[in-house]
């Protein structure tokens, strides 16, 4: 009796990488649109208003994002994991139960938080921005009713990722919402209307959330066609999915709150400790870093459900392959930007107007920290999808304590540079902790020939060449443009030469079909 021929690791990895590549390509396209729209919104606000008004806008929307993360209770990762598991096991009847178990608590929490934010806007504004308390209070009252839409939207889009479709996320979160926010903000600044900028930022949540609900209603009936559970198997009660979901999600809730505090609290602390104008300068500077984060998140979100599948199936070899390849992809998309920011940050900040160029050191510190974080890859996703959410939680808590502690200590003396130093230290510590844990627990790590090649290529093309061009031809825009064009051409050639090693061919469907093979 002969057994069926095994599938080679290459074939198995090729199939996984193909699927991830397709998802990553779509999300990277969405990330490009999102990055342009988000950056353009920052530019419109910085150029169209004074620094105090801009600082109020950035700090109040930062409070909104923090509140939404708190109310979301970390359900995004839980929904991705449990919906992926339900899909793999053919248990479609669990999916609506999981959605109810996730949505009911977070929507209720968002409604309560919105009422509290509206009622306490005045006292909260005095803490956030003493020099512009009235403007900040008005902004918080505008934003408060929209918390529930933001929370529901995040859960619905996480559900879509758990069902292995990135289209709703790309269309609504990456393209729809930031584009609408940009257009409405531009209209408010151009037209003689009395509405404030927070209205332009918050109203798109209603439109996009409505579209997400419509997608879910269309998708739900088709899920039951794939339910392969035996007819005599009893249906799961809602409580039977609620318990496992929230036991998985509870540590992630703490991690999500800490993560958003680390990402958004800096602007609020700068406003509280240094003033609204420095907060505007710091927010504008960090928007360059956000461009890289959007690209990183796009690849990470595409990889997340596939890593969940491999770890649920106990396929450590597949997880290792996905981890290393996706890390190289992350570096391909982000290191050119971070190298450019480290070399030419002061020059780039001048596009926001006078007074913003002083934040050049902010970009240098954050760019270097993000390069370290990207080199670690999707290390936090690996911890979460291997059901070590408590490890991720403690890593994030250590990082946020470091971040807040250093900010409170350094901002009064160093201003925006102190905030950048605190955030940079927290980013590096969190990622190195997680990297060590993944190495110990799963026996995998992201470093290899692929990552080494991309690192050397990026630093050479976008670091050394741009630096040399600005040293030889001056620090103006012309010298920077020459360096970037030359570096980009060499970078593209380098990636093309290593396209097979980096699995970039997986992005081309006609090629990857011919490359996947099975051996006896």
197 near 61, Cβ under 8 Å? no
426 near 258, Cβ under 8 Å? no
* Burial class of 184 by CB neighbour count within 10 A (0 to 12, 13 to 18, 19+): buried
Segment holding 370, helix H or strand E: helix 360-375
Question: How far is the C-alpha of 411 from the C-alpha of 498, rounded, in Å?
Answer: 44
Question: How far is the C-alpha of 294 from the C-alpha of 162, rounded, in Å?
Answer: 20
Q: What is the pLDDT of residue 431?
A: 92
Nearest C-alpha neighbor of 150 from the set 208, 198, 95: 208
Q: What is the pLDDT of residue 456?
A: 93
- b/e 337-356 (16+ beta carbons within 10 angstroms → b): bbbbbbbbbbbbbeebeebb
Question: How far is the C-alpha of 196 from the C-alpha of 188, rounded, in Å?
Answer: 7
Q: State the Cα angle at 58 between 53 and 60, rounded to 5°.
A: 90
Nearest C-alpha neighbor of 323 from the set 368, 386, 252: 386
Question: How far is the C-alpha of 176 from the C-alpha of 484, rounded, in Å?
Answer: 30
205 near 177, Cβ under 8 Å? yes
Q: What is the pLDDT of residue 481?
A: 85
Q: What is the pLDDT of residue 233?
A: 45
Helices (H) and strands (E) in the chain, counts: 21, 0
Q: What is the pLDDT of residue 197?
A: 87
Q: State the Cα angle at 218 between 215 and 223, rounded to 5°.
A: 110
**DSSP assignment, residue 230?**
-
The predicted model scores a pTM of 0.70
- b/e 7-42 (16+ beta carbons within 10 angstroms → b): eeeeebbbebbbbbbbbbbbbbebbbbbbebbbbbb
pLDDT along the chain (520 residues), means of 10: 36 49 67 82 86 87 89 81 77 80 90 94 86 88 94 89 80 90 89 78 93 84 52 48 77 73 79 82 82 70 69 73 83 90 84 78 91 88 77 86 91 89 93 90 83 92 86 75 89 89 65 38
Q: What is the pLDDT of residue 240?
A: 67
- b/e 481-508 (16+ beta carbons within 10 angstroms → b): ebbbeebeeebeebbeebeeebbbbbbe
Domain extent listing, the chain: 16-224+238-447, 451-508
Backbone angles phi, psi at 482, to 5 degrees: -60, -45
Backbone angles phi, psi at 193, to 5 degrees: -120, 160
* Burial class of 225 by CB neighbour count within 10 A (0 to 12, 13 to 18, 19+): exposed
The neighbour count for residue 44, using CB atoms within 10 Å, is: 21
Question: How far is the C-alpha of 81 from the C-alpha of 107, rounded, in Å?
Answer: 20
Question: How far is the C-alpha of 366 from the C-alpha of 187, rounded, in Å?
Answer: 32
Question: How far is the C-alpha of 246 from the C-alpha of 244, rounded, in Å?
Answer: 6
Q: What is the pLDDT of residue 298?
A: 65
Q: What is the pLDDT of residue 207?
A: 94
């Amino acid at each position: 009796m002969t057994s069926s021929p095994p599938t080679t690791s290459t074939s198995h990895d090729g199939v996984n990488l193909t699927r991830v590549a397709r998802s990553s390509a779509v999300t990277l396209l969405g990330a490009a649109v999102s990055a342009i729209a988000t950056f353009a919104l920052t530019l419109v606000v910085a150029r169209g208003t004074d620094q105090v008004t801009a600082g109020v806008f950035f700090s109040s929307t930062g409070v909104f994002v923090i509140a939404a993360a708190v109310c979301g209770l970390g359900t995004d990762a839980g929904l991705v994991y449990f919906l992926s598991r339900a899909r793999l096991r053919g248990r479609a009847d669990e999916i609506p139960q999981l959605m109810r178990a996730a949505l009911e608590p977070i929507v209720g929490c968002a409604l309560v938080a919105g009422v509290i934010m509206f009622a306490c806007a005045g006292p909260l504004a005095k803490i956030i921005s003493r020099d512009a308390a009235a403007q900040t209070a008005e902004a918080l009252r505008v934003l408060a009713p929209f918390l529930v839409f933001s929370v529901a939207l995040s859960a619905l889009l996480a559900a879509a990722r758990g069902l292995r479709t990135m289209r709703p996320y790309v269309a609504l979160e990456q393209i729809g919402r930031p584009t609408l926010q940009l257009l409405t903000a531009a209209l408010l600044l151009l037209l003689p209307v009395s509405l404030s900028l927070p209205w332009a930022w918050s109203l798109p949540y209603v439109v996009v959330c409505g579209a997400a609900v419509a997608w879910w209603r269309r998708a739900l009936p088709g899920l039951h066609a794939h339910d392969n559970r035996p007819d005599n198997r009893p249906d799961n009660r809602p409580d039977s999915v609620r318990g496992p979901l929230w036991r998985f999600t509870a540590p992630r809730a703490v991690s999500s709150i800490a993560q958003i505090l680390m990402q958004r609290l800096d602007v609020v602390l700068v406003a509280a400790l240094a003033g609204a104008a420095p907060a505007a300068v710091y927010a504008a500077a960090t928007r360059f870093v956000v461009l890289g984060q959007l690209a990183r998140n796009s690849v990470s979100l595409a990889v997340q459900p596939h890593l969940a599948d491999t770890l649920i199936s106990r396929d450590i070899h597949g997880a290792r392959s996905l981890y290393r390849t996706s890390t190289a992809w992350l570096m391909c998309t982000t290191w050119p930007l971070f190298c450019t920011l480290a070399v030419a940050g002061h020059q780039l900040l001048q596009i926001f107007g006078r007074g913003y160029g002083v934040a050049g050191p902010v970009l240098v510190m954050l760019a270097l920290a993000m390069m370290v974080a990207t080199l670690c890859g999707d290390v936090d996703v690996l911890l979460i999808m291997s059901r070590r959410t408590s490890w991720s939680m403690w890593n994030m808590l250590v990082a946020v304590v470091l971040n807040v502690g250093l900010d409170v200590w350094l901002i009064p003396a160093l201003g925006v540079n102190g905030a950048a130093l605190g955030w940079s230290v927290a980013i590096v510590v969190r990622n190195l902790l997680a990297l060590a844990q993944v190495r110990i627990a799963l026996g995998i790590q992201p470093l290899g020939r692929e990552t080494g090649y991309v690192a050397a290529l990026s630093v050479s093309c976008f670091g050394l060449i741009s630096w040399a061009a600005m040293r030889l031809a001056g620090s103006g825009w012309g010298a920077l443009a020459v360096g970037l064009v030359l570096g980009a051409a060499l970078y593209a050639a380098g990636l093309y030469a290593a396209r097979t090693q980096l699995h970039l061919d997986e992005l081309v469907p006609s090629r990857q079909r011919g490359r996947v093979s099975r051996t006896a």
